[in-house]
Every structure is written in C-alpha cells, then in structure tokens.
Amino acid sequence: MTKSVIVVGGSIAGLMHGLQHKRKGNDVTIIEQEPGQRASQDAGIGFGAEVNEFLKKYDLTGSQIAIRSHSQRVAYYKRPQVHTTQTSLKLTSWGLLYRLLRVNFDGLASAAFPVPPKEHESNGRATYLTGKKVVSLYYSSGVVTVRFIDVETGKEEQLSGDLLIGADGIHSTIRRLVGTPSVEQYVGYVSWRGTVEEALVSKETVRYFTDWLCMNITKNGYLVGYIVPTDDGNFTPGQRLINLVWYCNMRDRSPELDETFTDINEKKHQKTVPRGLVRAEVWDRARRRARGKVAEPFAEVLEKVQRPFVTRIHDAFSSASSFHDGHVVLVGDAFSSFRPHAATATEQAAFHSNTLEKVYTGEMTQEAWDREVLVYARRMILLNRLIGNFGRGALTPFLQAVFLYFIFVLQQKLRRA
C-alpha cells in the first residue's frame, strides 16, 4: 500500500530518507526552508560503510562520488609528519553528494549529473518544495499534518501524510514541535573551513595531501586537510580542491567570538557565518595565530583560502527519536549532532536510513530502533569529544572523555553479556 511521507529538511539526511521511501513506492514530499538549491559552501565531508551501503541500494547513476584516502598523516606544529596510520575513508564534497541525491530523488539535473537516471515504475512520486517554513504539527488517528508558510509571500499551506520525518538539522523545528527534551551547547571552539584549487598551490603541497587524510596539531587547536572533487564532479588531478578545516579555541561570550560571528553587513550569526560574509580582517587576524606554527603544506593552503566560512561547534542530543506511535521520527542532526571530528554526521544519516529499513520490513520494532539509535548517538558524541579535546590540547577534558568513553563501552558489553 502506497504511503504518503513528509520529510522536513532537504539536506543530506532528508534526501536520503526521501529517496529511500521513493524507492519503496511511497509518495514523498520534502519541505525545505531555504529557497532554491542548497548552497554547499565548498565543504568537504568524509564517509564510510553506512553511506556506502545506502548508495549501493539507492543510487542509480553508478557515478564516482568520492576519493579514497588510504592512510592518515599527523603533523605536529611545523613538523610535517610525526605519525601515520592505515585508515580508509571516502572523501567528497557536500555539494556533489547533495547533487547525487537530488538527481536520484527528483531528477534535478546539474553539471555533475546532467542526465537523471531512468525512473522505475515502482517508484513513488517525489516532490521537493523550497522556501517553505514549517510552523506547526498536528497528529490524529495515524495522520500527521504540518502547516507551513512561504518565506517570501507569507502564504500559509498545509500537508498531511502517514509518516513525518524530521531531518531539519541541529536547530530542528520538528524536535521543538514534538516537545522532546534536548541538550544543545557551544563547546568552546569553532571550525574555520575553506577550499583551494590544486592548481593554486605548489606540487609539493598537492603531493602531501594526495591520498592522505592529514592532521596538523598545534597549540589550542588543530587543522585537517584532504583532497575532494568539485561540486560539479571534477576528479581530474590539478582541478580538484584541497579542503581545509581548522578547529580553533574561542571562549564563549568573548569579544573575539562576537567579532568573528559579525559579518560584513554587521549582522550577528548564531551558528555559521557563510562563505563570502566573513570579514577579511577577522580571517586575517585568525590566520596570524597560525603563521609560523604549522607545517608548510598546511601553511600554504591556509594562506590561499580566500573565502572561508566559520561555524560554532555544538553538541546537541535528543532524548527520544520517535513520537506519535512511530508516525513522527527524528533523523540525522535533528536527533543528535556531533562535533565533526570522526566523519560521523553523514554516516549517522545513512545509519538511520539503513536501520529504519528493518523497521519497515518488520525485522525490528520501532522501540528497538529507538534504543539502537540512542546508543549509536551516545557513542559517537563521546568519541567525537575525545578526538576533539585531544586535537585542541585540552588535557583535562580529553582525559574525562577517555574515561566516559571507556565506561560507556564497558556498560554496553555488560548489557550484551
């Protein structure tokens, strides 16, 4: 029987769940608050087994989507390599993954995917609404109704369905509307992010980052660098991008934090100052902190990044994932948001989709799924705290995170025994 599914949030998590239900033959409407196509800001992302499993099941393009790193390289201050580990992670751009999911979901053509895959007769209808802000939610007798407004005209509309999936990010409206308790807090540091074309840096720097996930530890922060394809799907050496992430300590309510999150138009931002809106003097001041303290490949990329964006790092955790007898479900960052150190945000979105499949087929109860995603989120939150505190030199919080992670793992082993 065809179901009507509403997904609130049209980013990676929302598209994954929307695509899953479309392939199951359900009619899906995604409601996205931003007008037009989502902007990627040239952000790089990493993913592993969960996303691989999802794409294997639902991607019909068969296109290359990522570059595989075979190892991790650790630099310490100006020393370019003090440790290496064997690790495998797929690295891509947020924009390319978004475009892949869109062309599969609603056939949106782009330079990366100019020809949409052929639709199967068993597919449900797929609709992607933009510029719509959800303002209320009502549930009765197995039917979920949401009311939303057009952000440009103010016109009110409503839509009803059998299932509502809240995939609207860390500041989830759906999470607020269902009234679930949640914890969200700034954790004392920010991430600066930007990209540089390979052609703009030296050959030595390109070789340093090629096939590696690189990390540079310094005082009060660390940098991560790796190569990704462009949003348009260009994997050609010399035309790819070097993605840089710099985690930098910044005290809450400090003048520095306030200045950093005030953009070129004097507008104050609570979470992210988008690319193109960061004040040049703020970025130059931030880079001065790293000059002479990082390995040469990182120093060159850092100097070449011209249009960064900056984000406050938060922990956000909800105490429940499903509501109204399973007719409303929170997924991705709407359920829990991790510090972005272990490439787990996209993995969590895919994990939620992959495990919900078992609920849909009757292999798992909704209650069992709720417990499983709760355990997964707690483990990832603790792991990312551990990595983040180690990388930014916060010794006491790092030791606390190690202890809490050990206790958590021990508790899970005892429960399974």
> Over the stretch 95-154, which tens digit does the pLDDT of each residue have?
999 999 999 999 999 999 999 999 988 999 999 999 999 999 999 999 999 999 999 999
Domains along the chain with CATH numbers: 4-64+94-183+316-402 (3.50.50.60), 70-92+185-313 (3.30.9.60)
Kindly report, residue by residue over 76-91, the tens digit of the pLDDT. 999 999 999 988 889 9
Are the C-beta atoms of 148 and 31 separated by less than 8 Å?
yes
Strands (E), 219-343: 221-228, 241-249, 272-273, 309-318, 322-323, 328-330, 336-337
CB 145 within 8 A of CB 177: no
Give CA–CA dist 108/122, Å, rounded. Answer: 19
Torsion angle, CA of 345/351/356/362, rounded to 10 degrees?
A: -160
Residue 188 has pLDDT above 80, yes or no: yes
The answer to whether the pTM exceeds 0.85 is yes
Parallel, antiparallel, or unpaired for β 241-249 and 182-197? antiparallel
pLDDT band at 177 (very low <50, low <70, confident <90, very high): very high
Distance of alpha carbon 32 from alpha carbon 18, whole angstroms: 12
pLDDT of residue 323: 95
pLDDT, position 328: 97
Q: Which two tokens stand for residue 187?
A: 């954790």
In this structure, the strands spanning 27-31 and 336-337 are: unpaired
For the stretch 234-277, pLDDT in tens is 999 999 999 999 999 899 999 999 999 999 999 999 899 999 99
The pLDDT confidence band at residue 186, using thresholds 50, 70 and 90, is confident
Of the pLDDT bands very low, low, confident and very high (cuts 50, 70, 90), residue 40 is low
Residue type, 190: V
Q: Pick the range with the lowest mean pLDDT from 34-43, 85-94, 211-220, 310-319.
A: 34-43
